[in-house]
Structure 1
Amino acid sequence: MCGIYVTNIPFVEEEVKNKLASIQFRGPDNTGIQKKGDLTFGHLRLAIVDLDVRSNQPMQFEEFTIVFNGEIYNFAAIKEELIALGHTFRTTGDTEVLLKGYRQWGEKIVPKLNGMFAFAIYNATSNKLFCSRDRLGVKPFYFSWSNGKFEICSQLRPICQNKKLNEAAISMYLDCTYIPSPFTIFQDVHKLPPGNNLEIDLTTKRYSISKYWDLEPVKISKLTYDEAKEKLHELIQDAVKIRLQADVPFGTFLSGGIDSALVSSIASKISKEPIHTFTIGFKDPKYDESKIAGRFATIINSQHFETICKPEDIMKLIPKLVSVYDEPFGDSSALPSLLLNKMAKQQVTMALSGDGGDESFLGYNHFDWVSKFKMLLKMPYYLRVLTSHLLIFDVLGKRTEPLKRILKTKSKHDFIAGIFVGYNSLLKNRNLDWLSFYNGFKKNSEDLHQTTADLNIKLWLENDSNVKVDRASMAYSVEIRSPFLDYRIIELARTLPVSYRYQKGRKKRILRDILKEYIPEDVFEQPKKGFSVPMDSWIRNELKEEFLQNLPDAFLEQVPNLNVPKFKKMLQNHLNGKQDYSSYIWRVYVLSKWYQEFGYFKK
């Protein structure tokens, strides 16, 4: 994995060097800068495949110049196809294959690619720049545009100078804990949506965006359960195998969950040597999965490493969080992710993860909520509202308020959207018009679980999970590869009946039955705790002063559209132990730290 940069703004080389230096962690092995006509290309390389300098970028072939971030896992098969067409190769990596593939097929190369990627290829003859981002948005792609002048980059920091804050995006962040594509925290700076191509005509100074992949309307397969299990197992095995191509040491991230256990088990079978596995633990047993992960490691005979995440570790990582994420990012699991990558880097440069399994195989707790809401939908809306008014005096404890808000949800699509944007809001005036960019989730399936999974994939996976993993790994120059994000697995999973994947009390049914072939069921049938931190307790205790110092009235009043009295009441109720508002407090705290980092507020 790497960092890419392209611009037609006439910066001097020193300016471009400084821009790249601000994200040097993405590629410490080589910095390449090259001018081609009116364009300047920049590249930061983290060498994983073909470590030789011959694979440094920018790379040129005939009239074509490329900068590329990511990995093409099926590059060997594409290479053979190109060799049969008469092409020769001087490197053993995937960049040259991508470049010559574009020379051969143009934009039709993109659907052939199985990988995670963000790249830009300049054709000096046509004077056009062709760019593309992978199907699931694993790799980031930012671009600014103003009157034909543009910058393209893997992160925001190098291209955000002299940009105005996007106040609407701040409201999106306060609802979601992230800023969804195509928006960013800055005006005139955009994210290229996943599964899309961007073409810039440098002659006419116009750009166009076109979609090459998306989730399709669901067509349920007629495979029996055993046939589906066998087919899926073979596909997961292949997805793991092709992601083990590397010329550097590798390992796997191993939690107490099904997905990482399955990936690690298959990797250990494929590898000729015992693999390295890494896990994070917590002193609080409610959050700790390290003991289960340790048992998994013993069974698969891995060389296992673990570290315990403590409040003082979090304090040390907060500056890193703000500096490498560029935009406000309010998922607190980014903190243990940073710590995990910091530990892994001492042993490996590449690691496999289990990310993406919960989305396709219905593993999150909110899929249980969907089952319950199906029953509530049988009640007319007016009866649900009436019921919500009857829930008084916190009769259900801390669950009373959330349930009241869910009962007032008008439609099934509003309910599903609420899972991801929240049924409560910190905003004075809430506007969810931006969700229209994700309306596809409403039309591809009649099944409520699959509809939820589709929005999970299109909205949360790209903007939360993938961002978290990319920045946390790049912060320590580690490449993460996620077999469950292989588009073939996602497409197959969506054709399987929901009953193959989800049963009451047994989420991810089919993955569990595959995992039994590697690890005894009584070992992995444990309650899933999630990769989260005990932030609720830390805010009340160890980190209380840190939070209060960074949430002064002067800052809160500066945040556009923030309902300050409501937030202050939530903060007080949390500190008093009346409610758990840690998610809301954390996101506002992160926003405060981001304002300070980028010069918008001084304590």
Structure 2
Amino acid sequence: MGQYLEGFNLVMCGINGIIGLKDPANRELKVQAMNHAMLHRGPDDGGLYSDRNLTLGHRRLAIIDLSNHAHQPMTSADQNHTLVFNGEIYNFQEIKNELKDYTFSSQSDSEVILAAYQKWGIKCLEKFNGMFAFAIYDKTLNKLFIARDRLGIKPLYYYHHNNTFLFSSEIRSLLASDLTPRKINQSCLSEYLSFQTVHAPNTLVQDISLLEAGHYLELNCESLEVQKKQWWQAGTEAPLDLSAQEAQEKTKELFYSAVERRLVSDVPFGAFLSGGIDSSALVGAMADISNKPIETFNISFAEEEFSEAMYAREIAKLNKTNHHEIKLSPDDFLKYLPDALQAIDHPSGDGPNTWVVSQAIKDHCITVALSGLGGDELFAGYAIFERMQKIQNLKILWSLPTPLRSLMGSSLCKLKPSIASQKIRELLKLQNFNFSDVHAISRKVLMTHQVENLLAIPRIREHSKNDFISDKDFIHAQTSMQEISTYLQHVLLRDCDQMSMAHSLEIRVPFLDHNLVEFALSLPDQLKPYGKGLLVESLKHKLPESIVNRPKMGFVFPWQDWLKNQLFSLAEKNIKSLAQKSYFHQNEVLKLWQQFLNNDPTVNYSRIWPLVVLNHWMDSNGID
């Protein structure tokens, strides 16, 4: 199996557009400003396209075929369709073979999107295997088509107000147009405090929306009327009836295929290697497929209890990789943190971790890196999978009177004060057992009473997905779907995109290949046991016992200690500034901070850091 596809052009980048401003010169100046705000996403090239009341903008990070053959905005051979595209279509060659009647002028996946849209229209989306957000302007119909990939790997934000429609890969780019308000979305503050993020279609900026994963928009460029539709949804496949061996063989086949597709590059690439199951499986597959040694990277810490270096070394040695161990100290992190905070496009509680890793990899002249992101969500790797199964088995508790359940929860909090006890109390207060509500509480950062205490504005009901049909044989699949549509898409993938692209680094995620996702969600729990049993059995030739049975750590920094020491002044400055903002009760914000400093068991660092990030982001971007 090969590693390179010579002469082909794939790009990662940023896209922009304004529709509705009548003055073309003014419109182009504003799109240029939007492009400039995203130079970090595409330092290699940029361009504009204008027609009637529309201007499209693009910034390019070249990955394959570093020439200008795939300059964007790109117009079709018949001059009727113009594209701006962020992402990669991994199977573009296969699709191109079905498009013999189109005259291609480049070797790019971008032009394949244009040709596919001309032939199949909206149904072209079903052909694409990749990560993407793109817009296609139809000159004849005066219509704009905007689409986002199935799993929401690449972002697409938009603003639609009165006679103007804007879209972009980043919120900061929209703000740079000076056409959007710099006001906090008050209705989403409670959601952010609860979950350290805001879920699509909402954002923390008033009137700016995030196009949901697996959705598309059609915009009439004359009337600016918008129609939005969903074109893909996780978990709609029929359950599969397979033996354990068949499931393992298919898992390995789909995973290896997903990895191989993502090894296409004409620039140096590598892989994150923590020494956990997901990254170890990924590096093992890469080593089998590639015809040259893989560059692997591990971040280790001065605090030994947070270091996974020894496990990463074992996997690197097993797969004969060129391994790079990058040691970080609190002083290193302090040096990086201001830039990491400045790179945040939409706040969440986890971004600086990815920023620091991306910086370290980019310093080694790597432009593309593969990540094990998504393995936990697909193969029941998080503790939440086991918790959801236990709670499902105890749902008879919700047949008890609500006052009795509330008393049980309050008594537990008094006897054993902890974050876990607080979550149990909130679960027991639910009127009825609802799978999505139970999952949401399990994922909460601050509890409802804490959010209500902090906010000086009414609390809006937090994000809740539609409940899935409860099937005792598919609890893990239901949990996976909840995880994918919440924490994965709106924390992990958002942070992955904004923090890696801050360094012009592309991150590819083989576990989120839609073929593998659809297959994993079709399997009953007995074939996909808690703890990534299916993945381990499928790739056991690449996963030593010492890796499989090691304690799960996850990639975290020693925030609990740092916020009380090296990062104390930064944290306190932002907490005090947030407390003074009119949306918050000053005393309650300062009280929460003091609880953390006093080692209150109900307030750990993950309850504090999102508040620090929120204030810094608001002040840096002039958000009122």
Give the conservation status (yes or no) of the 8 Å contact 1:74–1:114: yes
Q: Is the 8 A contact 2:188 2:460 kept in 1?
A: no
Does 2:383 match 1:362?
no
Secondary structure of residue in 2 paired with 1:169: helix
Letter in 1 for 2:529: Y
- 1:420 aligns to 2:443 (yes or no): yes
CA distance in 1, matches of 2:611, 2:236: 38
Q: How big is each residue's C-alpha offset from its partner over 1:434-465, in whole Å with a ceiling of 9 and x where there is no partner?
A: 635x21x4237554433222111112211111
| Residue 66 (structure 2) pairs with residue 51 (structure 1) | yes
**Mapping 1:25-36, distance limit 5 Å:** 25-36=40-51
Deviates more, 1:88-97 or 1:39-48: 88-97
Q: Could you say which residue in structure 2 is the equivalent of 1:21?
A: 36
CA distance in 2, matches of 1:386, 1:555: 34
Q: Distance in 1 between matches of 2:550 and 2:561?
A: 23
Q: Distance in 1 between matches of 2:296 and 2:503?
A: 17
* Aligned position for 2:85: 68
Contact 1:130–1:198 (Cα < 8 Å) also in 2: yes
Q: Does 1:2 align with 2:13?
A: yes
| CA-CA distance at 1:169 after TM superposition | 2.0
Asked if the contact 2:235–2:521 (Cα under 8 Å) also holds between the matched residues in 1, the reply is: no
Amino acid in the other structure paired with 1:67: V
CA deviations over 1:240-293 (Å, ceiling 9, x no partner): 011111221111111121111111111111111101011212223332212211
Q: Secondary structure at the match of 1:274?
A: coil
Partners of 2:422 and 2:447 within 8 A in 1? no
Q: What is the CA–CA distance in structure 1 between the aligned matches of 2:508 and 2:489, rounded to whole Å? A: 15
Shift of 1:97: 0.6
- 1:528 corresponding residue in structure 2: 552
Note if 1:575 corresponds to 2:597: yes
Instruction: State the 1:217 CA deviation.
Output: 4.3
Shift of 1:149: 1.0
The alignment status of 1:514 with 2:514, answered yes or no, reads no
Aligned to 1:296: 315
The answer to whether the 8 Å contact 1:148/1:206 transfers is no
Shift in CA distance, 72/180, structure 1 to aligned 2, threshold 3 Å? same
Q: 1:432 to 1:111 in 2, by over 3 A?
A: farther
Alpha-carbon offset, residue 210 of structure 1: 1.0
> 1:314 Cα deviation (Å)?
3.0
1:178 aligned residue (197, 203, 220): 197
Bigger shift: residues 515-524 or 587-596: 515-524
Give 2:469's aligned residue: 443
Partners of 2:286 and 2:296 lie apart in 1 by 10
- Which one-letter code corresponds to 2:58 in the other structure? H
Alpha-carbon deviation of 1:330?
A: 1.9
1:78 matches 2:95? yes
Q: Does the residue aligned with 1:532 lie in a helix, a strand or coil?
A: coil
2:270 aligns with one of 248, 251, 264: 251
Q: Indicate if the aligned counterparts of 1:217 and 1:445 stay in contact, CA closer than 8 A.
A: no
- Taking the aligned partners of 1:566 and 1:320, their CA distance within structure 2 comes to 29
Percent of pairs identical after alignment? 35
The letter for the 2-side match of 1:424 is M
Q: Which amino acid aligns with 1:571?
A: W
- Paired letter, 2:214: G
* 1:368 positional shift: 2.3
Once the two structures are TM-superposed, the CA of residue 564 in structure 1 deviates from its matched residue by: 4.3
Match of 2:358 among 314, 325, 341: 341
Partner of 1:237: 256
**TM superposition shift of 1:12:** 4.9
Residue 510 of structure 2 corresponds to which residue in structure 1? 483
Post-superposition offset of 1:52: 1.4
Does the CA contact (< 8 Å) of 1:297 and 1:304 recur in 2?
yes
- 2:285 corresponds in structure 1 to 266
How far has the Cα of 1:574 moved from its partner? 1.6
**What is the alpha-carbon distance in structure 1 between the residues aligned to residue 75 and residue 470 of structure 2?**
42
Amino acid at match of 1:24: L
8 Å CA contact 2:270, 2:366 repeated in 1: yes
**1:257-336 paired onto structure 2 within 5 Å:** 257-331=276-350, 334-336=351-353
Say which SS state the counterpart of residue 493 (structure 1) adopts.
Answer: helix
TM-score by length of 2: 0.90
Q: Distance in 1 between matches of 2:371 and 2:33?
A: 32
CA contact (8 A) 1:128 1:200 kept: yes
User: What are the residue-to-residue correspondences of 1:541-560 with 2, within 5 Å?
Assistant: 541-552=565-576, 555-558=578-581, 560=583
Provide the rounded CA distance (Å) in 1 between the counterparts of 2:621 and 2:419: 37
The Cα of 1:87 is off from its aligned counterpart by 2.1
SS of the residue 1:472 aligns to: helix
1:4–1:154 Cα contact (<8 Å) kept: yes
Cα 1:392/1:265, change in 2 over 3 Å: closer
Unaligned runs of 5+ in 2: 1-11
Q: Deviations over 1:341-395 (max 9, x none)?
A: 1111123111111111111111111112223323432334445433323336544
State the 1:397 CA deviation: 6.2
CA contact (8 A) 1:550 1:592 kept: yes
What secondary structure does 1:33 align onto? strand
Contact 1:280 1:336 in 2 (8 A): no
Shift of 1:566: 3.8
Superposition pairs of residues 582-601 of structure 1, within 5 angstroms? 582-600=605-623
Instruction: Give structure 1 stretches of 5+ with no counterpart.
Output: none
1:225–1:449 distance in 2 versus 1, CA, 3 Å? same
* CA RMSD between the two structures: 2.1
1:146 and 2:161 are equivalent in the alignment: yes
Change (3 A) 1:221 1:341: same
Going from structure 1 to structure 2, the CA distance change for 1:118 and 1:540 (only over 3 Å counts) comes to same
TM-score of the superposed pair, with normalisation by structure 1: 0.93
